[in-house]
């Protein structure tokens, strides 16, 4: 007797939780991207956090196609908490209202997170400008980690595991139910920092090298509007509270950890100390920043910064060789070559061959060849040779 065919398993529901605050000009594009998913079972929950622009009017135009909640000044974390509580999906994607999903996002997330023990999948995000024009870059630059990352997380702390911006992450409901609500007193913003810092404790992390979302770069974003020093202070504060959150969850799970070690090895702590040490040598000068356009340094730390390499003040991509880097430094740009700050890791310039004299190598005493700095991930500053 032949067995009866089994009924097809229903597709898991994917919840797209959109958090919005005064992004009415981007909101329709964001919601249309969520509605355009190829996955057959998608619910969209929008949480508007006390917007004062035309967001409410935009939301009304979508009618019953999206579920809308109105919150009062809870920040990104509070909005995410409300949206998650109202959602029903087995898989959840948090989406900032100024970003968009590509049509494949929900389907890919559902397929990957059907794997036993998986708690998260992440992918790089394409970048676009304020008008939605696709840019060349994607974030993050480096390949995303995958697999069982718990041991590495416990050794290094929350900064051990890199992750993309919010829309480049998808989470299982089972995981989120164990770590949410996000403590809003610690995380008014930075929900992905909190979640990504805990995920490896609870299961496997998968990575897809294909972009399934787009991240908008624009001056009005909450992040872009901050100065370099403010961003660094916020990152450092979030790093501190994320270490505390990780330690708390380790205790809940009966896992041994060493928060003091995490503090000593914290990249943001060392970066803050290094910037404090470098600042006296560059104050009042023009500085070429060798950082792969990642620091976003402005004049708030006492220097006038230019990207390296650059054309018309815009980052032009990493030099292919040391010779190209030195040729770029030799270009006749007004007052450019007083100092160069090297934010490691970044394209290496052989300091001894370049004739650079070291001024500050970060909070730790470092000697020897410039390349020895690379594993330390610390910035450095050096005088440029006379040419």
Give the model confidence (pLDDT) of 73-88 as tens digits.
788 899 999 999 999 9
Instruction: Return the closest-CA partner of residue 30 out of 19, 41, 39, 42.
Output: 19
Helices (H) and strands (E) in the chain, counts: 12, 18
In the prediction, which pLDDT does 18 show? 98
- My answer on whether omega of the bond before 345 falls inside 30° of 0, hence cis, is yes
Higher pLDDT, 99 or 374: 99
pLDDT band at 316 (very low <50, low <70, confident <90, very high): low
Distance CA 387, CA 377 (A): 29
Compare 30 and 338 and report the one with higher pLDDT.
30
pLDDT at 267: 80
Helices (H), 88-172: 105-112, 150-156
* 120 in Cβ contact with 199 (< 8 Å): yes
* Phi, psi for 87 (deg, rounded to 5): -85, 165
User: Which of 330 and 140 is assigned the larger pLDDT?
Assistant: 140
CB 127 within 8 A of CB 137: yes
Q: pLDDT averaged over the chain?
A: 79
Return the pLDDT at 160: 86
Chain-centroid distance, C-alpha 17: 18
The pTM assigned to this predicted structure is 0.75
User: Taking the CB of residue 4, how many other CB atoms lie within 10 A of it?
Assistant: 6
CB 107 within 8 A of CB 150: no
Helix (H) or strand (E) holding 307: strand 304-307
CATH 3.40.50.2000 corresponds to the domain 14-223: no
Q: Name the β-bridge partners of 93.
A: 16
Distance CA 213, CA 99 (A): 8
Per-residue model confidence as pLDDT tens digits over 227-284: 777 878 888 888 999 999 999 999 999 999 999 999 988 888 877 777 777 666 656 5
Cβ of 224: how many Cβ atoms within 10 Å?
13
Provide the residue ranges of all domains of the chain, joining segments of one domain with +.
Answer: 14-223, 280-383
Is 293 in contact with 315 (CB distance < 8 Å)? yes
Q: Which residue has the higher pLDDT, 208 or 222?
A: 208
DSSP alpha helix (H) spans, the chain: 24-35, 55-61, 75-86, 105-112, 150-156, 173-179, 191-202, 228-253, 259-265, 267-282, 322-329, 351-354
Average pLDDT, stretch 99-125?
A: 97
């Amino acid at each position: 007797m032949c067995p009866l065919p089994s009924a097809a398993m229903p597709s898991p529901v994917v919840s797209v939780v959109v958090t919005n605050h005064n992004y009415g000009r981007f909101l329709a594009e964001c919601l249309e991207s969520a509605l355009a998913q190829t996955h057959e079972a998608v619910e969209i929950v929008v949480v508007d956090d006390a917007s004062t622009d035309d967001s409410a009017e935009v939301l009304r135009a979508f009618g019953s196609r999206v579920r809308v909640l109105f919150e009062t000044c809870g920040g990104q974390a509070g909005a995410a908490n409300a949206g998650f509580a109202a959602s029903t999906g087995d898989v959840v994607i948090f989406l900032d209202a100024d970003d968009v999903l590509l049509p494949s996002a929900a389907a890919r997330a559902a397929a990957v997170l059907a794997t036993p023990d998986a708690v998260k999948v992440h992918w790089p995000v394409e970048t676009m400008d304020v008008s939605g024009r696709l840019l060349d870059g994607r974030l993050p630059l480096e390949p995303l980690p995958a697999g069982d990352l718990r041991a590495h997380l416990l050794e290094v702390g929350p900064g051990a595991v890199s992750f993309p911006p919010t829309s480049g992450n998808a989470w299982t409901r089972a995981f989120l139910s164990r770590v949410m609500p996000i403590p809003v007193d610690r995380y008014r913003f930075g929900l992905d920092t909190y979640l990504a810092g805990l995920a490896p404790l609870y299961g496997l992390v998968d990575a897809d090298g294909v972009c399934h979302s787009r991240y908008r770069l624009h001056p009005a974003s909450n992040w872009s509007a901050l100065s370099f020093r403010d961003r660094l202070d916020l990152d450092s504060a979030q790093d501190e509270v994320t270490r505390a959150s990780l330690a708390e969850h380790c205790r809940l799970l009966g896992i041994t950890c060493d928060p003091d070690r995490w503090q000593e090895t914290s990249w943001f702590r060392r970066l803050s100390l290094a910037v404090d040490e470098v600042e006296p040598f560059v104050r009042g000068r023009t500085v070429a920043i060798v950082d792969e356009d990642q620091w976003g340094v402005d004049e708030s730390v006492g220097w006038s910064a230019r990207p390296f390499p650059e054309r018309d003040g815009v980052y032009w991509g990493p030099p292919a060789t040391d010779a190209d880097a030195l040729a770029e430094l030799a270009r006749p740009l007004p007052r450019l070559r007083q100092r160069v700050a090297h934010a490691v890791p970044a394209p290496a310039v052989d300091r001894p061959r370049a004739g650079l004299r070291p001024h500050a190598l970060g909070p730790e005493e470092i000697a020897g060849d410039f390349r020895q700095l690379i594993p330390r991930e610390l910035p450095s500053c050096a005088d440029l040779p006379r040419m």
